[in-house]
Chain A
């Protein structure tokens, strides 16, 4: 009897494994969850195209792209011409960019109706009940797509799970690449297991005639990933479609530069069982400041929950960021912090994050040769300036060989005065600059520019 039971157990284990014969049938349906996304980033002088991969998550043509697919610093109105391609698709269809969700980091897109009939949401392959977490050594397979010149031909990747780790989201790491970043991973029965994460770097030794010792170089495979976010981290968040392109509201505490507490420090402070993060600065006027949080406080717990241990320790910073992002402005958070040698409770009411650089107004002055961008809270923080009087403007771009470039204006300069008059608001500055630009008789313009700890006068010769 015992022997028969054992036999049965072996059989079922085999059943959970991956049989090559099953895959083509599973593949044909599931590959329809995968799409390639093409978009254009417009800057003052050029347009460049980016290709990323995404997964279809509902029947309305909603697609999620991993955080790294779109540069966070680019203002959303410069992201243009989104297009979605099914695998083996030549033409693609337009799509609308919906914004980025702060908690998951995902960018959401909506494909136009014309292509929706060819898309299958990944939720079609989620069974009832809680999402399955892959087991160690389990065979898993996923989708990857070739590039545009190969019509985004899908191909199969297959590996087995080597490690599951909280980073801080639970992430399975397979022995080899298992899916394109942003593309789905399945188990042997075709159940959804997770979504390919950004790839990890791998260190190789590079030998050459010049250096026979072998120089370590880290390489990152950007087309395929061996790591994937497990389904339990994905499925509950699929509905987090941003209400607007800026992803607002954004919960904000204002604890700047969190640094993980390393283990030696924890032991020294008799907190060996604890994880923690040091607050480098508490920003002016932020909810953290109002709540009485102080620089050098060590955050040990949030809402009574001790910060978990992570490997590596720095993951705790992402963990705290995610706890905040999961809240909405107006929510309260109670932080337990170590200040010096005493433990203190700090109760903060989260605010809405001040306007970000990517949301700031900007205007390009082609003849002068630079772009002016509204000065925002984050600029004041970065420059140790007052966060109350946000005057002047930032120069995010200087056109090569333009009058501004020749005068020595540099990207990231903070212009405070134009021709001796303070640029009090962005609107006023734009008005002045427009007037200067359209004045054909004018021979020069003088800018008062702050750069690092210096403030300097630049003469822009216009003729």
Chain B
């Protein structure tokens, strides 16, 4: 802690020197002291997070440990971190406070789309042991300017309370990844802050702060092997997500099934005025937009009368956000242009789902499965979202011996359709109570196969 303060103080004096001597002459000591106090409070709110999480990939329950960072946001111990640090697979979360005391925490909720997760420190334990911590304040990320100095605080490679310094390299970076958060989709609904403050593995979930110790971002990812290309989720996004997670434990979004693309110089081809509309690059088959008759190549002009401007990639997340922010089941009037003519359709939104469904393992079968989600079914052209996807089989266990393998979609067990994960669990429970051979029906690449799982 002392070391960190020293680094910061010396950093400040260099900046002060560059700004001119006058400021230093007027009130050098109190300013520095106030800043140090502010920064100290911030440092006291940054925690190390140790997560033990379960993985089902090999057809059995395996536990992995990982380390990340987080920042305490409230007196009652809400901790904000990344979704890829702590998610629903976490079975044990331990927070190391600035005082080096360790305390347990629980997941309040997560949102992989923005790579954010909210934890709550075990309040009883805090009270019983008389633990003390401080909390940080959000700053306004919308007011950041490119070139503004920022600091990243976190636990890179387990080195607790490491502060690195840099500037805002870009305050509106578009970065979408279909499997960026432990295989889950991310980045469609927010842009990112880019910084050259050094961000290393373990920094994830730690705050990106301005000189006045306000949290303007949650550091999340960096290009490994590149020089200081780090990314953080802006506080404007984080603030909204935190409120939603506190309220509901999850973030609900609307979905219509279009993939937008920036027009970038295509305006002349589509005979459009500049800054008008957004190109529909693809429409997911079976989605509300597809059912309403929208097609790839259409230009989406407005949503419920709100004109769209999707000329550049970083303008796409707000457009996606506009759709996502509507209540599920809303009827949206989409005005679009196809060829020379304009038309309108009404699309009723569905609840946005991840491609990745809930996972489970059936230990006695040596079989790990993931519920087929609507999105997965559409991407893989399955007739519907019935069935569970095999994500792992344990060698030598009944599922493996029967011939099931990763990638099979189990559609029926004992001749009954597997409509939900709960249905599969019930069938497993019946087997566990009275083991006897069971007939499985599974599909892979449209081939139907039968398997017998034997005790």
Q: Do A and B make up one complex?
A: yes
Contact surface of A with B, Cβ cutoff 8 Å: 256-257, 259, 261-262, 264-265, 267-269, 278-281, 295-296, 298, 340, 384, 417, 420, 444, 446, 448, 452-457, 459
- Do the beta carbons of A280 and B403 come within 8 Å of each other? no
B103 at the A interface (CB under 8 A): no
- Do the beta carbons of A420 and B446 come within 8 Å of each other? no
B415 at the A interface (CB under 8 A): yes
- Do the beta carbons of A455 and B448 come within 8 Å of each other? no
Residues of A within 8 A of B441 (CB): 296
CB distance from B417 to the nearest CB of A (A): 11
- Do the beta carbons of B448 and A295 come within 8 Å of each other? yes
The stretch from B3-11, B148-156, B342-350, B378-386 touching chain A is B378-386
Report the separation of the CA atoms of residues A340 and B441 in the bound assembly, to the nearest whole angstrom.
12
B437 at the A interface (CB under 8 A): yes
Residues of A within 8 A of B439 (CB): 265, 268-269
Residues of B within 8 A of A279 (CB): 448
- Do the beta carbons of A459 and B378 come within 8 Å of each other? no
Given A259-B447, A280-B446, A454-B282, 5 new contacts (CB under 8 A): A259-B448, A262-B451, A340-B415, A446-B269, A457-B296
Chain B 433-450: CB-based contact to A (< 8 A → 1; otherwise 0): 000010101010011111
| Beta-carbon nearest neighbor of B453 in chain A | A264
B297 at the A interface (CB under 8 A): yes
Going nearest first, the 7 A-B pairs with the smallest beta carbon separation are A264-B452, A455-B296, A280-B448, A454-B282, A257-B447, A265-B450, A457-B297
Report the separation of the CA atoms of residues A453 and B279 in the bound assembly, to the nearest whole angstrom.
18
- Do the beta carbons of A257 and B446 come within 8 Å of each other? yes
- Do the beta carbons of A262 and B403 come within 8 Å of each other? yes
Report the separation of the CA atoms of residues A417 and B296 in the bound assembly, to the nearest whole angstrom.
10
Residues of B within 8 A of A448 (CB): 295-297
Set B269, B381, B437: member contacting A453, Cβ < 8 A: B381
Q: Would you list which residues of chain B between 399 and 455 have a CB under 8 Å from chain A?
A: 402-403, 415, 437, 439, 441, 443, 446-452, 454
- Do the beta carbons of B380 and A453 come within 8 Å of each other? yes
- Do the beta carbons of A455 and B283 come within 8 Å of each other? yes
- Do the beta carbons of B449 and A278 come within 8 Å of each other? yes
Set A257, A454, A459: member contacting B269, Cβ < 8 A: A459
| Beta-carbon nearest neighbor of A446 in chain B | B269
B327 at the A interface (CB under 8 A): no
Report the separation of the CA atoms of residues A264 and B451 in the bound assembly, to the nearest whole angstrom.
8
B285 at the A interface (CB under 8 A): yes
CB distance from B14 to the nearest CB of A (A): 48
> Do most interface residues of chain A lie in helix, strand or loop, or is the interface mixed?
mixed
Report the separation of the CA atoms of residues A246 and B437 in the bound assembly, to the nearest whole angstrom.
48
Residues of B within 8 A of A281 (CB): 446, 448
Q: Would you list which residues of chain B between 364 and 399 have a CB under 8 Å from chain A?
A: 378-381
Contact surface of B with A, Cβ cutoff 8 Å: 259, 261, 266, 269, 279, 281-285, 295-297, 338-339, 378-381, 402-403, 415, 437, 439, 441, 443, 446-452, 454
Residues of A within 8 A of B295 (CB): 448, 455
| Beta-carbon nearest neighbor of B338 in chain A | A420
CB distance from A263 to the nearest CB of B (A): 9
Report the separation of the CA atoms of residues A46 and B446 in the bound assembly, to the nearest whole angstrom.
35
- Do the beta carbons of A453 and B451 come within 8 Å of each other? no
- Do the beta carbons of B297 and A446 come within 8 Å of each other? yes
Residues of B within 8 A of A265 (CB): 439, 450-452
What are 16 sample pairs from A and B whose C-beta atoms fall under 8 A apart? A257-B448, A262-B450, A262-B452, A264-B454, A265-B451, A265-B452, A269-B439, A295-B448, A296-B448, A420-B338, A446-B297, A448-B295, A452-B381, A453-B379, A454-B259, A454-B284
Set B283, B448, B452: member contacting A278, Cβ < 8 A: B448
- Do the beta carbons of B284 and A453 come within 8 Å of each other? yes
| Beta-carbon nearest neighbor of B445 in chain A | A257
Residues of B within 8 A of A454 (CB): 259, 282, 284, 296
CB distance from A228 to the nearest CB of B (A): 31
CB distance from B204 to the nearest CB of A (A): 31
Report the separation of the CA atoms of residues A446 and B297 in the bound assembly, to the nearest whole angstrom.
9
Contacts A278-B448, A280-B446, A446-B269 given; indicate if A456 touches B281 (C-beta within 8 A).
yes
Residues of B within 8 A of A261 (CB): 450
Contacts A259-B447, A264-B402, A448-B297 given; indicate if A457 touches B452 (C-beta within 8 A).
no
- Do the beta carbons of B443 and A280 come within 8 Å of each other? yes
CB distance from A437 to the nearest CB of B (A): 19
CB distance from B284 to the nearest CB of A (A): 7
| Beta-carbon nearest neighbor of B283 in chain A | A455
Residues of B within 8 A of A456 (CB): 281-282, 296
| Beta-carbon nearest neighbor of A450 in chain B | B296
- Do the beta carbons of A453 and B285 come within 8 Å of each other? yes
CB distance from A333 to the nearest CB of B (A): 21
Residues of A within 8 A of B403 (CB): 262
Residues of A within 8 A of B450 (CB): 259, 261-262, 265, 278, 298
CB distance from B280 to the nearest CB of A (A): 8
| Beta-carbon nearest neighbor of B451 in chain A | A265
Residues of A within 8 A of B279 (CB): 457
| Beta-carbon nearest neighbor of A296 in chain B | B448
Residues of B within 8 A of A268 (CB): 437, 439, 452
Residues of B within 8 A of A455 (CB): 282-283, 295-296
| Beta-carbon nearest neighbor of B450 in chain A | A265
Report the separation of the CA atoms of residues A456 and B443 in the bound assembly, to the nearest whole angstrom.
28
| Beta-carbon nearest neighbor of B340 in chain A | A420
- Do the beta carbons of B285 and A280 come within 8 Å of each other? no
Residues of A within 8 A of B402 (CB): 264
Set A340, A417, A444: member contacting B297, Cβ < 8 A: A417
Report the separation of the CA atoms of residues A452 and B279 in the bound assembly, to the nearest whole angstrom.
20
- Do the beta carbons of B269 and A444 come within 8 Å of each other? yes
Residues of A within 8 A of B339 (CB): 420
CB distance from B186 to the nearest CB of A (A): 19
Of listed B378, B380, B415, B448, residue having the most chain A CB within 10 A? B448
| Beta-carbon nearest neighbor of A421 in chain B | B339
- Do the beta carbons of A459 and B297 come within 8 Å of each other? no
- Do the beta carbons of B378 and A453 come within 8 Å of each other? yes
Report the separation of the CA atoms of residues A264 and B261 in the bound assembly, to the nearest whole angstrom.
51
CB distance from A66 to the nearest CB of B (A): 26
- Do the beta carbons of B297 and A420 come within 8 Å of each other? yes
CB distance from A151 to the nearest CB of B (A): 46
- Do the beta carbons of A280 and B269 come within 8 Å of each other? no
| Beta-carbon nearest neighbor of B379 in chain A | A453
CB distance from A270 to the nearest CB of B (A): 12
Set B261, B381, B443, B454: member contacting A384, Cβ < 8 A: B381
Of listed B281, B296, B450, B452, residue having the most chain A CB within 10 A? B450
Residues of B within 8 A of A259 (CB): 447-450
CB distance from A459 to the nearest CB of B (A): 7
Report the separation of the CA atoms of residues A355 and B297 in the bound assembly, to the nearest whole angstrom.
30
Residues of B within 8 A of A446 (CB): 269, 297
| Beta-carbon nearest neighbor of A417 in chain B | B297
| Beta-carbon nearest neighbor of B437 in chain A | A268
| Beta-carbon nearest neighbor of B441 in chain A | A296
Residues of A within 8 A of B283 (CB): 455
CB distance from A313 to the nearest CB of B (A): 11
| Beta-carbon nearest neighbor of A269 in chain B | B439
Of listed B284, B296, B380, residue having the most chain A CB within 10 A? B296
